[in-house]
Amino acid sequence: MGPDDLPAYRLLTGPDDSVFCRRVSQALALGYPSTVRPQPLSQRTRDRRPGHPLAGRRRRRRLNRAQERRMPVTLKITEEPDLACLMDYVRAFHATETFALDDEMRKAALRPLLGINPLGRIWLIHAGATPVGYLALCFGYTIEFAGRDAFVDELFIAPEQRGRGYGKAALRLMLAEAARLGVRAVHLEVARDNPRALGLYRAAGFAAREKYTLMSARTDTA
């Protein structure tokens, strides 16, 4: 028998972490010889150990994801005092689309959509208390759907806020609000070579109408 009538030996196995070290210390305190060999840690386990540079990064990522899940997405009707914040997002979106508008033209186009009006709605998208983008919806009328319809004219999420589900949540909130306003159908246009946007709109409930092609004609040019 071993010390104090304990078994002659004990076999300890496990990852080389704090729990394993405590078990070894307890065995040594009982009088067992130090013939125990720790099991090598896998690369993933090593990366999780306190002090490893990846461990803190992963913890921060998990905390960020948890915080994002707790932050509700809301739509705030844009008023005149919000115009400066809205303009920052609109300017950034137009730069990606190469729209030929200067700031005065943008303001002139946006102001009729501010507040409650018969032309549509323009909302700032908020995650918690933080604005993360905007969505503009313009009203129309359709015989096909026997009533009011609407067009998602612009949707923009700030680049640093993307990939967190804000766009999909905003679209779903917009559809619910459109239904409350008596809108029978909501339409949008999206580039065929933009799979990320296509996936977003499908996830929010939009379906492609492959039979049709969107066409436009300017009436303000000679």
**CATH domain 71-203 topology:** Aminopeptidase (3.40.630)
Could you give the 3-state DSSP secondary structure of residue 61? helix
Map out the domains of the chain as residue ranges.
Answer: 3-67, 71-203
pLDDT at 70: 61
Please report, for residues 68, 103, 120, 125, the alpha-carbon distance to residue 162 in angstroms, rounded to integers and kept in the order given.
12, 25, 25, 12
Please, which pLDDT band fits residue 19 given cuts at 50, 70 and 90?
confident
Q: In what order do the strands lie in the sheet with 120-127?
A: 73-77, 120-127, 130-142, 147-157, 183-187
Mean pLDDT over the full length of the chain: 85
pLDDT at 83: 97
Does residue 89 have a pLDDT over 80? Answer: yes
- Pull the structure tokens for residue 124: 């700032």
Does residue 192 have a pLDDT over 80? Answer: yes
pLDDT at 204: 93
Q: Which residue has the higher pLDDT, 68 or 84?
A: 84
CB 151 within 8 A of CB 184: no
pLDDT at 28: 74
**pLDDT of 41-62, one tens digit each?**
566 555 565 566 666 677 766 7
pLDDT at 73: 97
**pLDDT of 135-151, one tens digit each?**
999 999 999 999 999 99
The percent of residues above 70 in pLDDT, for the chain, comes to 76
d(CA 170, CA 115): 18
Please report, for residues 129, 151, 181, 208, the alpha-carbon distance to residue 145 in angstroms, rounded to integers and kept in the order given.
37, 14, 15, 16
Q: What is the pTM of this model?
A: 0.69
Q: Any alpha helices (H) in 71-194, and if so which ranges?
A: 83-97, 103-110, 166-180
CB 150 within 8 A of CB 178: yes
Please, which pLDDT band fits residue 25 given cuts at 50, 70 and 90?
confident
pLDDT at 4: 59
For 35, what's the count of Cα atoms within 13 Å in the CB-facing half-sphere? 7
- Pull the structure tokens for residue 55: 């461990």
Across the range 23-46, mean pLDDT stands at 64
Any idea what DSSP says for residue 100?
Answer: -
Across the range 94-118, mean pLDDT stands at 95
